[in-house]
Amino acid sequence: MRPEITRENEYITSGDTPHLLLDRLTFNSRFVFTELFLNTVFKSRRQARKGKYYTNEWIDSSHEIFTNVERCGGRIHITGMDNIRNSREPVILLSNHMSTLETMIFPGIIQPLIDVTFVVKDELVNHWAFKDVMQSRNPIVLSRANPREDFRIVMEQGMDRLRNNISIIIFPQSTRKVAFNPAEFNSLGTKLAAKAGVKVVPVAIKTDFWGFGKFSKYLGPIDRNKIVHIAFGEPITVNGSGKEEHLRVVDFIQSHLERW
């Protein structure tokens, strides 16, 4: 059953959310959460390999991970969902990137409200566990090795997705980092928005609930004392080159991180 996370403007994990007994019996380690995550990944992978991983399946698998965060003692707070729900045209969502978690739960939050895809690194599309699922979602794939070529790909394929009423999630940082450095937050998204004539939606996230793993960055420890925060800002109309709007997105993210 899907959690009711998209009906209102704000979502907060209920204090009555049951905490799995097995998770408590394993001393609140990462064990149960990791097992549940891998179960979802492998089930989705099987569906995708059979050509049966459609939009509903994408939402369902994302919701499974969302729910398992809560079942393992995590708390989630989301604000500003009306800013997505009320969009009458495709938008570009610009978010900081902190952990694996946002990539996994964004589809279950955003896709029920608007059609969406990601700009992703090629390593994710080629990863043995994730490639079948990611390829099924028609993402925009970048190498991060050739900025000029990546720019061309985003401009061309981004315009194509937007013309087909598909919104785009972009993580302008080169990689996932807990600390937010505005200098590493590139303006690719606002440049695409300026060219396409669409709005950008700033997204601030704090997802260090799920850390980096020593042997696999996708299977790190979890910290139940850290609340998962996601805030969607009001859509911003991009004028000219988009420099001012880019700074507004950065300010939105910084101000929320400081508050959290």
Model confidence pLDDT, tens digit, residues 156-194: 999 999 999 999 999 998 788 888 999 999 999 999 999
Distance of CA 242 to the CA centre of its chain: 23
78: pLDDT confidence band, cut at 50, 70 and 90?
very high
Distance of CA 115 to the CA centre of its chain: 14
Mean pLDDT over each residue of the chain, to the nearest integer: 92
31-40, 132-141, 174-183, 200-209: the lowest-pLDDT one:
174-183
Note the pLDDT of residue 70.
Answer: 95
Note the pLDDT of residue 1.
Answer: 46
Domain ranges for the chain: 11-259
Note the pLDDT of residue 190.
Answer: 97
Distances (CA, A) of 62 to 65, 191, 195: 5, 29, 31
Note the pLDDT of residue 7.
Answer: 78
Residues pairing with 229 in the sheet:
77, 206
pLDDT digits (tens, 9 = 90+) for 105-161: 999 999 999 999 999 999 888 888 899 999 999 999 998 778 899 999 999 999 999
2: pLDDT confidence band, cut at 50, 70 and 90?
low
Average pLDDT value for residue range 76-102:
96
Phi and psi dihedrals of 166, rounded to 5? -110, 120
Q: Is 21 exposed, middle or buried (0-12, 13-18, 19+ CB in 10 A)?
A: exposed
Checking if the pLDDT of 204 tops 70, the result is: yes
Distances (CA, A) of 198 to 93, 188, 234: 11, 14, 13
- What is d(CA 216, CA 153) in angstroms, rounded to the nearest whole number? 29
pTM over 0.85: yes
Checking if the pLDDT of 50 tops 80, the result is: yes
- What is d(CA 56, CA 204) in angstroms, rounded to the nearest whole number? 25
- What is d(CA 54, CA 43) in angstroms, rounded to the nearest whole number? 13
Note the pLDDT of residue 212.
Answer: 81
241: pLDDT confidence band, cut at 50, 70 and 90?
confident
Strands 76-79 and 11-12: antiparallel
Q: Which residue has the higher pLDDT, 105 or 21?
A: 105
Look at the block and give the residue holding tokens 């013309």: 163
* Residue 210 DSSP label: B
Checking if the pLDDT of 216 tops 90, the result is: no
Q: How many CB atoms lie within 10 A of CB 218?
A: 19
